[in-house]
Structure 1
């Protein structure tokens, strides 16, 4: 899998869309069900794509911190109800992963929040590569990835959810100091961000199942 940078995005669009399937994204997939649901959002089963990717990103074994799924979904739904129309909601911590036996505060952090659909998206990332995953826009660079996900919630939250994106942010301070140009690392990070965002949408019960398909990434050309 390869996501082009801004300079070669137009050229990459003429190529065949790249499928971030198990056999391409990681070398350690074993049971054919890499995206199996776990008891909580942050537990990554042995043999899963997520765990194999994370071990490559962190380069070793890891400690895990998590927010219980029921608390996260309750907070996100409350944020959606309480949000002012023009505002984004506060970032909610989903998962935190840190290398074992490391003194530095480097880690991988997954967060989620609501942002208005009718507002401009965030300022482009420095040296970021924009992409589209099955219609879901996003961007990645050496130390972060983000996705803007349409999440149709049922009941009294439907009208509000139609006006926002569920924004999934994953930061990778384990890559500081940065070493730009490592395309394989960006590919791993983008795949991991997509699969972790999927867990959040499943916990929330997004009726449109926005991330249910295998991730097919197309780079977005720079105007």
Structure 2
């Protein structure tokens, strides 16, 4: 069962037995420790959208609400495990399934909105021909990105440490933000830039957790139109 919490960090009462086990195991150091960058990272690092942070501001603007309910599908150790499993199981015929990491929601009288963050391995050849439907191309600090009304993606190489190093060099990682359509009030370009920025910022968190040896996604996001 995923972890759920309010925007200010208070865990909701719906946290179940699985979440309790994970928290206790991490405290005891019996099952959550991994080698490399992931070790010692906070369990909510991937989904932390604190008020005033760049990611937090982008999420709240997208949801149109100051209070955000966060559901954590993958703590850092879980993301590392899923990405390593994806590399071992990846084939040209089957590819790899996406891994959901975070869900941000607002519940308001004027309607519900959500943002879902996920990551997925794809082949380098697929990344060159990959296109979202009705998408606009952008470049963020040299990294190719695409965005349409309901999804934004950044695609980049991540050289994983350890036994999966060679396999990861053959693939690209996609960081994805999927969201409910927003209403009027902002230009399409401004909305696109915000959505691409959010995907990039969340992918930066994954890069830290995964310990990508090539150190992609450096610096604050600078979004420019064009195809990377």
Q: Shared fold by TM > 0.5?
A: yes
Q: Which structure 1 segments of 5+ residues have no match?
A: 1-36
Equivalent residues of 1:147, 1:194 under 8 A apart: yes
Corresponding residue of 2:58: 53
Task: Please give the secondary structure, in 2, of the residue aligned with 1:125.
Answer: coil
The alignment of Structure 1 onto Structure 2 pairs a total of residues equal to 185
The structure carrying a bigger helix percent of its residues is 2
Change (3 A) 1:218 1:146: same
- The offset of 1:133, in angstroms, is 1.8
Q: Which structure 2 segments of 5+ residues have no match?
A: 1-40
Change (3 A) 1:181 1:44: closer
Higher relative contact order (CA 8 A, sep 6+): 1
Calculate the TM-score normalised by the size of structure 1.
0.74
Q: Please give the alpha-carbon distance, in whole angstroms, between the structure 1 residues aligned to 2:222 and 2:50.
A: 23
Corresponding residue of 1:205: 211
Corresponding residue of 1:150: 157
Q: Is 107-116 or 82-91 further displaced after alignment? A: 82-91
Match of 2:200 among 173, 194, 204: 194
Equivalent residues of 1:140, 1:146 under 8 A apart: yes
Corresponding residue of 2:117: 110
Equivalent residues of 1:115, 1:165 under 8 A apart: yes
Corresponding residue of 2:82: 75
Match of 1:42 among 47, 51, 54: 47
> Structure 1 segments of 4 or more deviating over 4 A?
101-105, 120-123, 177-181
